[in-house]
Amino acid sequence: MIIVQNGAPEAMSERALRTMFEDRKSVFVDLLGWDLPVLDGRFEIDGFDDEHATYVIVSDGTGDHLGSARLLPTTRRHILGSLFPTLCADKPPTGPDVVEITRFCLSRRQDSKSRRRTRDQLVAALACHALDRGIRSYTGVAEIAWLQQILAFGWDCRPLGPPQRFDCGLLGGLAIHITPETPALLAANGIGDPAGEQFQVREAA
């Protein structure tokens, strides 16, 4: 199932959200060693997880999180524009139809084959979500190895400037232009359209 959660609820009553924040802690803090706030020793939650955030979540049949991405509006404070603007050769792209992808996370409970399948479902779902919501472009910050994967997905993606080294590694800024042709471009690279998946849209509790 693909869940689109609009806003982070104060009380995480939804299983997919709870397991998403747990998996974010497992990936970004435990595995990658990022210096990030952790709530109750279990959940990776930062100041961008607020009512303005949207979450696109791939969940399994029990409601557990498999993969997710957090989307932030670029018309207010966001990661590329606020924390890493030097990654852009020009001014960071912003606007009501430009949205930032952050915290792209795949659960470590999956094997490599399952993670690849979840990754592809999530990428295709992000493209469909953009077309449904009138999002013209996604922006983001990525570690160089992940950036190279994103560029190879087949969609219209470009670096925003040369990569730069930070304490957390070699990072690059990127922009992804979304058009009605994007799902077909992804499909040509083996990333299928999730049209057969059930989408569930939720508002924050």
* pLDDT tens digits for range 125-159: 999 999 999 999 999 999 999 999 999 999 999 99
* pLDDT tens digits for range 69-80: 999 999 999 999
φ, ψ dihedrals at 153, nearest 5°: -70, -20
**pLDDT for 12:** 59
How do the domains of the chain map onto residue ranges? 2-203
* pLDDT tens digits for range 52-101: 999 999 999 888 999 999 999 999 999 999 999 999 999 999 999 999 99
State whether CATH 3.40.630.30 applies to domain 2-203: yes
